[in-house]
Chain A
Amino acid sequence: MDAPALSDDRLQELMRAAQQGDAVAYRELLRSITPRIRRTLLRRRASARPEDIEDLIQDVLLSVHAVRATYDPRRPFMPWLLAITRNRLADAARRYRRTTAHEVLMEGADVTFADPKANSGQETSDDLVALADTLRMLPARQRQAFQLLKIEGLSLREASAMTGTTIGALKVATHRAIAALRKALTRNATRT
């Protein structure tokens, strides 16, 4: 939950205390500024994914921590924080541009191989549909075992604790689910 918004005077006080090594004041300060940083970032990067916004918030917090000595206790706190936030945001945008400049989008590129089996494209989406259909038609126990172990990546012990099924039964159910899915994919390939 968001911490209540504090006045700039209070933030100044907390930062002064943090500069003297007061961990409680520092925690309160960081908790209080996090929603403000999030709002600023969301305003400027409305289309960013939530995990990217969280990464940026952490970048800003680490930067605030690294340069907390540059804060002059006689000056207002928010302009200092906003300057860091804007700077880290600009850095992230530059980083993003640099990364995407070297990426080639391959989606939609038509590739045709001599061997029909090697051609992918429509087949991929057909396979996915067949997989989803088969997964839906599997017995509940097999579907659950496959989902927990192969999709969500739980360990056998975790899945066993969660479902109340023995590890051996989980192994069997997963094995049968995989066999059924393989059969569905083969069927789909021979049809196309």
Chain B
Amino acid sequence: MNTERLIDTLADTVAPTRPLADPWIRSTAWLVGTLVYFGALVLMMAPVSEIAANARGGLFVFQQLAAGATAATAAGAAFALTVPGYPRGLLRLAAITAFVWVGSLSLGAMHEWTRHDMNLAASGELACVALIGVAGAIPGLTMARMLRRGAPLAPGLTTGLAALAITVPASLAACMARPHPSDAVTLAWHGTAIVILVALAASAGHAVLSWKIRTARSAEH
């Protein structure tokens, strides 16, 4: 088909379309839903008094805040990556918050090590890994649906960030729901699970988001 004919075909079949909301609005909407979902899961898994007891001091609170910020910026960056020409500053912000979060966990682990208080007994950590991997499926599918409405500019990076945005609040939920013996255990088990899931999601990026899928979907509508 020549280009002139293609232009005529596209113009003749153009249908009204609602512009997508700003990536921040979309990511906030998704994040609120995800936090409500994980909050409900935590409440189902542990009574409120136990949840409060699991909050072990200032560093723990800081770690959870850093985890929340990582999830928020990673989600924002994933949505921003699907908008052509949108500033990429969020990507740097996501990297910084993730660095702060991992740094705060590492700091806790180092304190434990210098105090000779490092407890590496991983009792019940598999339950946390399962929570991170399985419970994230619902917000993951929701996010995949939302991302597919955008442009697949960097599929691997987008799905990797999306996985980070899902697994970090899942890890946060796991930390709130049951006591963790040490930050070293959290870092090792949760960290490994998150890294593996992010890598898997990034490698599946082209299967989830691609121009082929996107143009085929637009031809259907």
Contacts and interface: CB of A to CB of B under 8 A. Distances in A.
A72 B2 CA distance: 29
* Size band of the interface chain A makes with B: 35 or more
Contact of A58 (B3, B19, B20): B3
B211 A26 contact: no
B211 A88 contact: yes
Interface string A6-47: 000000000000111111101100110010000000000000
Interface stretch (B132-140, B149-157, B178-186): B149-157
Contacts of A30: 7, 10-11
Interface stretch (A60-68, A152-160, A184-192): A60-68
Interface hub of B1, B18, B22, B215 (most chain A Cβ within 10 A): B215
Interface stretch (A73-81, A99-107, A108-116, A122-130): A73-81
Interface string B7-24: 110111011111110100
Contacts of B217: 66
B82 interface: yes
A63 B15 contact: no
A61 B214 contact: no
Contacts of A66: 151, 211, 214-215, 217-218
B83 A34 contact: no
Nearest to B1: A58
B19 A27 contact: no
* Size band of the interface chain B makes with A: 20 to 34
Interface string A127-148: 0000000000000000000000
B58 interface: no
16 contacts: A19-B16, A54-B3, A59-B211, A61-B7, A62-B6, A63-B211, A67-B151, A67-B218, A69-B17, A70-B19, A71-B19, A71-B84, A72-B20, A73-B19, A82-B85, A84-B84
Interface of B: 1-3, 6-8, 10-12, 14-20, 22, 82-85, 149-151, 153, 211, 214-215, 217-218
Given A58-B1, A83-B84, 18 more contacts: A18-B14, A21-B15, A22-B14, A23-B11, A27-B7, A30-B7, A34-B3, A54-B2, A61-B3, A61-B10, A62-B215, A68-B17, A70-B83, A79-B84, A80-B84, A83-B153, A84-B153, A87-B151
Interface of A: 18-24, 26-27, 30-31, 34, 54, 57-59, 61-63, 65-73, 75-76, 79-84, 87-88, 91
